[in-house]
A and B are shown apart, each in its own frame.
Chain A
């Protein structure tokens, strides 16, 4: 067992689970989506991205790309949240909330891809 691999897998999976946890619920209901969870998802995603730095394999490059996509979408969701709440007078209307969650949903897809790639890599090594 390799500790580095455990940490790597842990963060990639955690990024997916947190992301999923945030997205699940009625899409336009602010009560179903905790800001803390989005915050945690962003942090864990950033950490997962940095962990993927410097991989020179083809699969490593795609993993990094998927992570960058997830970061981008999650940060966009957070910015949208902040702007709606503080930047303008709009507030968390169902429409804004739906946008935030759908952005995070996009990130979820990227995270799913990451995990699939991780599984493929693992399977290939063990064969």
Chain B
């Protein structure tokens, strides 16, 4: 029995069913007890069959006439009881059922049971997303677009109902419930063997923390990716080994610092971690001059820490410097929305303004005022609500800060391309010209949109043809699997970013490297290239043709014939 739905119905229907049975029994007794007279004057009584039959057709009030003989008045008098009792009891049963269906507790039980059935029916590996707000919605959309199966938990019922109307590529079961409760997480599939991990992106740090620790304790082997808006939460999560903790502000501050110090690398970063199939954007590079940081909250602090690290100049504008813990020296008191404050902070000599308060209206106001005062400033503002995106777009910022976008893209690349963070970390160590070349290559293969990123493993299950050909004595090089078999020797639109082998990790390896079992390769490129590569990896003759240049007959019979011919 799934869920408590069936017992609830039975328990509620106990009263009405007892009433129906008793009414029928009493009715039958009355019908059979009163004697009647036939037309011939013979006395008669109803048998059990007649009584039950009579009740069956009078209970739903569709009288049939008096059978088998006309009744005497005494009979009619008694039969009134036998007619009304069952009717009333049926009515009672009907009302109870209607009441039950409208009962919110019962409805909740029904939806929960349905959700659990849907989750248990999932055959593929899937992820649980906790929180379906701005970030969750973005995340779920991009995951389903990439064919990842997800289940969703949110505390807000309207958001779950929203889920069905989003037109997602695959069906996503959603449960209205508190992610803090283990029961809810288990209902969402935490205890199922094909659950891959949990992404906790609720707006509440404590809930995210709770989810992380729950998963760590109940399913230590699962991956947990968590959003943490506060540094203390992030430290707490890290203390018990949460796989990935994403603090949107720290992430942005880190990227901003990267953009200032090595703009080419930042471009690569943006392209590789963007939402797939969105246009590749060329953002103006942030200037190296002095920044005005409006708002010294979590966001402002994160940015200032990075500025300190890279030695960038900045001035803080904060409404309540004491409470925010802003540095005493050089902090301007105010909101930054008025020209006076901005002038006081020296906007004439500043190169950039960062509006980082927790209020979207204030941020927009800061940006517009700044532009009035100094039209060629580099402007960036924090978007707090995804609903305000059109406004920020209209404000034509050089660099918008969308926490939900940052979190969603980071999580997406972590689960679809686990090698990507490793590659980006290695790439940071190279010099500027290397970055520029890399950016150029990515632009060439991606065709103007954010490239698809995928990981390829050389193994029996993931790339059977490579293993096959190796066993028959051929050397399969990286070049071979990246050729388009229909393109006359041209490569597919894909770029090999990283080769991971037990001996070491090689960024942008040589295409002549011979593949070995256990290799892991990180590619970026178009969706078509991805599909073509998968074809090559699973179609023995295509790869054989690409490696040896010979066209082979395929199929078991042809293979057998070829073997015979060779033997002869």
Contact = CB atoms under 8 A, between A and B. Distances in A.
Interface of A: 35, 39, 43, 46-47, 50-51, 53-56, 78, 82, 85-86
12 contacts: A39-B28, A43-B24, A47-B21, A47-B22, A50-B17, A53-B13, A54-B8, A54-B14, A56-B4, A78-B48, A82-B48, A86-B49
Given A54-B7, A86-B47, A43 B21 contact: yes
B10 interface: yes
Contacts of A53: 10-11, 13-14, 17
Most chain B CB atoms below 10 A, which of A43, A82, A86: A43
Nearest to B13: A53
A118 B350 CA distance: 86
B18 interface: yes
B12 to A, nearest CB: 8
Given A39-B48, A82-B49, A86-B49, A51 B21 contact: no
Contacts of B478: none
Contacts of B28: 39
Contacts of B12: 54
Contacts of B10: 53-54
Contacts of A46: 21
A54 B49 contact: no
B25 A51 contact: no
Nearest to B22: A47
Most chain A CB atoms below 10 A, which of B22, B24, B48: B48
Contacts of A86: 47, 49
Contacts of B18: 47, 50-51
Given A51-B18, A54-B14, A85-B47, 10 more contacts: A47-B18, A47-B22, A50-B14, A50-B18, A53-B10, A53-B13, A54-B8, A55-B7, A78-B48, A86-B49
A54 B13 CA distance: 9
Contacts of A54: 7-8, 10-12, 14
Nearest to A61: B1
Contacts of B13: 53
B77 to A, nearest CB: 22
A51 B14 contact: yes
Contacts of A56: 4, 7
Contacts of A82: 48-49
A55 B25 CA distance: 25
A47 to B, nearest CB: 6
Interface in B106-160: none
A88 to B, nearest CB: 13
Contacts of B8: 54
Contacts of A55: 7
Contact of B48 (A35, A50, A51): A35
A62 to B, nearest CB: 15
A39 B13 CA distance: 23
Most chain B CB atoms below 10 A, which of A39, A50, A56: A50
A78 B13 CA distance: 26
A97 B11 CA distance: 37
A43 B25 contact: yes
A43 B229 CA distance: 65
Nearest to A44: B25
Interface in B226-245: none
A54 B7 CA distance: 4
B124 to A, nearest CB: 33
A86 B8 CA distance: 40
Contacts of B22: 43, 47
A43 B52 CA distance: 13
A34 to B, nearest CB: 12
Nearest to A78: B48
Interface string B190-214: 0000000000000000000000000
Interface string B1-42: 000100110111110011001101100100000000000000
B249 to A, nearest CB: 49
A85 B12 CA distance: 38
Contacts of B25: 39, 43
Nearest to B6: A54
A86 B17 CA distance: 29
Contacts of B24: 43
A44 to B, nearest CB: 9
Contacts of B14: 50-51, 53-54
